[in-house]
Structure 1
């Protein structure tokens, strides 16, 4: 029967219990639960993320020249920008369980509409936030203590190459045995090659027995993270993996509006180079950064976490309705 939900009702009840447990985790730590918009007049500039776009046909809400179809709006790939505006306004530490939307993503670990847990800790650096995330993972997954590797250590251990100093050609040589064919040979962007090597050679093997935090990503992959004062080759960013699944991405948050604007403009130049549409920069968010308190934040995929907690092999089994049945 095509109208039935994807997940069994019994599993959806387990999902609800897990989310309630997560919510209590943050309330007990005095984080404020917030809600932010799913629609915005700006999207994300990251060339690897694709926003759903729609139009608002009511009264004009923008000083920009109106689109003939109405005011362009974008479904948010994460609640990050609005949450940081709340932080800049003095909210203190906050969390949110929100729907997020990413186009052109569907598969075992992806649904175009998914659920994110995102939280920000005022006064925390990324190491303190990793400590707190480990507590949450142990609560939900009953897993062992997490391990930690720098991005550099992960590449040296599994590919015998230093990602911070290697040339593009040296990285391609390191990945020659991975059976990637022309994909690797034809790529001329170093960060894309690094991400490809990481996904194929490192991600599947680093966290099979316990969660693994990988931190100190290359500065060129900083996104919205601070550059390390100890080593300007790396950003204060981390990702969390478990059993071959990427669960979360976190930053010691950048609070420099000029630097963030430059990064967004660079993203749009890369988009143009790769024949992708340039995205409107969220200037309200950028302007708020100069008031952002020292903080760290992380986004965790709830659907993937629940897959692990309930022993499921496909995201379709843990959401009520996927895009195929919505």
Structure 2
């Protein structure tokens, strides 16, 4: 079932437009430059569980990450982008194969700085949209007052999972346990920042200097819904190449095609400053702020209507 772009969702689309306008206000006031990068690229970042949509001999971007980091390396210190991204085969109540991402990067930031900035952004938008500090989503009331709750991935598996995070990785069921057992429990009364992922789950993230088994990565959950994926950036081109090659081996072992290595991106890593970046799903944010049960209710068209 899908919703048509008629009067049934017009109010949601109007609120969506206001949210996007306020997002731009937030980042412009913070000294961020809005930029645009190509949608069609020769090489996406290889990730075992994300499939890029082919476009001739190239690909539609799964994220603007690689090009935006090249801008960081060129001296752009604070940048953001609102853009369309494409992920093959992703369709569900909270997933679309063509989605809208808000992505931003800041030189000199780390993942903890981005945690605080996430709080500021969501609270700013909630105030502008008349929601205030209490968000009601599908009957669940969430107190947005910062500081938000924080929980490590290892703690989340201990609290909600059937096994430890290490065991889940060894048995190749990490994502399954996250999706079925853990995520529905997160951010139900207050937003929750889930952080310090296993190193194997941080393909482009810096590893913690004090514990290289963990990546400096976090995700934000509100009312059981994942909103963003953020991390302190890996800036070592040699290590990044090794990770890309590892992800491509995993893709091949799963019967998928390997992706070309993005050589210009790896070369740019030699010049990138310490930085952090965040990708936030705007469609899901609009779902929360409009109390929409389905992602179909916050976009003008879905694939089935075309």
Secondary structure of 1:8's counterpart equals: helix
**1:124 corresponding residue in structure 2:** 109
| C-alpha distance in structure 1 between counterparts of 2:13 and 2:93, whole Å | 18
Superimposed CA distance per residue, residues 135-179 of structure 1 (whole angstroms, 9 cap, x where no aligned partner): 111222442332100111111222375424xxx4xx5xxxxxxxx
Are positions 1:101 and 2:92 aligned together?
no
TM norm structure 2:
0.90
Q: Tell me, yes or no, if the aligned pair for 1:140 and 1:309 is still in contact at 8 Å.
A: no
**1:252 corresponding residue in structure 2:** 232
**2:23 corresponding residue in structure 1:** 22
**2:11 corresponding residue in structure 1:** 10
Q: Tell me, yes or no, if the aligned pair for 2:40 and 2:55 is still in contact at 8 Å.
A: no
| C-alpha distance in structure 2 between counterparts of 1:251 and 1:3, whole Å | 35
| C-alpha distance in structure 2 between counterparts of 1:161 and 1:278, whole Å | 31
Unaligned ranges ≥5, structure 2: 127-131, 133-143
Q: How far is the alpha carbon of 1:315 from its aligned partner?
A: 0.5
Secondary structure of 1:43's counterpart equals: coil
**1:39 corresponding residue in structure 2:** 40
Return the structure number with greater strand share.
2
**2:137 corresponding residue in structure 1:** none
**2:76 corresponding residue in structure 1:** 91
Distance 1:4 1:238, change over 3 A: closer
Secondary structure of 1:246's counterpart equals: strand
Residue correspondence of structure 1 range 129-208 to structure 2 within 5 A: 129-141=114-126, 142=132, 143-145=144-146, 146-159=148-161, 161-164=163-166, 168=167, 171=168, 190=170, 192-208=172-188
Distance 1:14 1:258, change over 3 A: same
Are positions 1:52 and 2:37 aligned together?
no
Distance 1:40 1:151, change over 3 A: same
Q: Tell me, yes or no, if the aligned pair for 1:44 and 1:51 is still in contact at 8 Å.
A: no
Secondary structure of 1:232's counterpart equals: strand
| C-alpha distance in structure 2 between counterparts of 1:111 and 1:271, whole Å | 22
TM norm structure 1:
0.84
Q: How far is the alpha carbon of 1:191 from its aligned partner?
A: 7.2
Superimposed CA distance per residue, residues 87-132 of structure 1 (whole angstroms, 9 cap, x where no aligned partner): 0011111000011011101110011111000001111110011100
Are positions 1:302 and 2:282 aligned together?
yes
Q: Tell me, yes or no, if the aligned pair for 1:129 and 1:297 is still in contact at 8 Å.
A: yes
What is the root-mean-square deviation in Å for CA atoms of aligned residues?
A: 1.7
Q: Computing the radius of gyration over CA atoms, which structure comes out larger, 1 or 2? A: 1
Unaligned ranges ≥5, structure 1: 56-71, 172-188
Q: Tell me, yes or no, if the aligned pair for 1:51 and 1:102 is still in contact at 8 Å.
A: yes
Q: How far is the alpha carbon of 1:10 from its aligned partner?
A: 2.2
Q: How far is the alpha carbon of 1:43 from its aligned partner?
A: 2.2
| C-alpha distance in structure 2 between counterparts of 1:22 and 1:3, whole Å | 26
**2:139 corresponding residue in structure 1:** none
| C-alpha distance in structure 1 between counterparts of 2:176 and 2:111, whole Å | 25
